[in-house]
């Protein structure tokens, strides 16, 4: 036998060895749960398509916040933004912005100067309305940033 044949047989043997693992089986067969006991899968949002938020603190202490909300099958939207500071083991709102707009998309932004030595975060919520009634909302809390 030449070396090439030996190498091929060795490779085939290694592959068979690696593929030959233990097989386990259960002693009992379980039935799938009925439709009544299964949770229904529903979409997370039916109206809100996008809720994008940005939060930044510049080196001079200027905080910039912005939110952008897009929804479908709605008449109007509202965005609320709060800038919060962590002090004495709790978050306190130090500045707020809010606006309502007719249509299916809107944005809101603001800025505020903050004091050094604290952690800050942005909390926002976007609300979608149809015929004057709230049909959906989304909430966002940014990670905190120390300044």
- pLDDT tens for each residue of 14-54: 666 656 655 544 455 455 555 454 455 555 779 999 999 99
Q: Over the stretch 49-72, which tens digit does the pLDDT of each residue have? A: 999 999 999 999 999 999 999 999
Beta carbons within 10 angstroms of residue 25's beta carbon: 4
Q: How far is CA 48 from CA 16, 65, 131, in A?
A: 53, 20, 16
β-partners of residue 127 are: 78, 137
* Euclidean distance between CA atoms 93 and 115, whole angstroms: 14
Instruction: Please give the average per-residue pLDDT across 65-91, as a whole number.
Output: 97
Average model confidence (pLDDT) for the chain? 85
Whether pLDDT at 95 is above 80: yes
Q: Which residue has the higher pLDDT, 13 or 74?
A: 74
* Number of helices and strands in the chain (H, E): 1, 8
* Euclidean distance between CA atoms 116 and 70, whole angstroms: 35
Can you tell me whether residue 119 is helix, strand or coil? Answer: strand
Q: Please give the pLDDT value at position 12.
A: 67
Domains of the chain: 48-146 (2.60.40.10)
Q: Please give the pLDDT value at position 37.
A: 44
**Structure tokens given for 141:** 């809390």
């Amino acid at each position: 036998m030449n070396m090439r044949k030996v190498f091929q047989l060795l490779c085939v043997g290694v592959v068979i060895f690696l593929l030959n693992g233990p097989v386990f089986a259960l002693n009992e067969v379980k039935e799938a749960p009925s439709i009544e006991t299964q949770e229904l899968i529903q979409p997370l949002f039916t109206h809100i398509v996008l809720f994008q938020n940005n939060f930044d603190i510049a080196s001079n202490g200027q905080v910039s916040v912005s939110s952008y909300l897009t929804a479908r099958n709605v008449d109007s939207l509202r965005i609320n933004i709060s800038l919060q500071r962590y002090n004495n083991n709790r978050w306190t709102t130090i500045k707020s912005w809010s606006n309502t707009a007719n249509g299916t998309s809107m944005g809101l932004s603001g800025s505020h100067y903050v004091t050094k030595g604290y952690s800050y975060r942005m909390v926002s919520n976007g609300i979608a309305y149809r015929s004057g009634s709230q049909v959906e909302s989304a909430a966002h809390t940014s990670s905190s940033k120390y300044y």
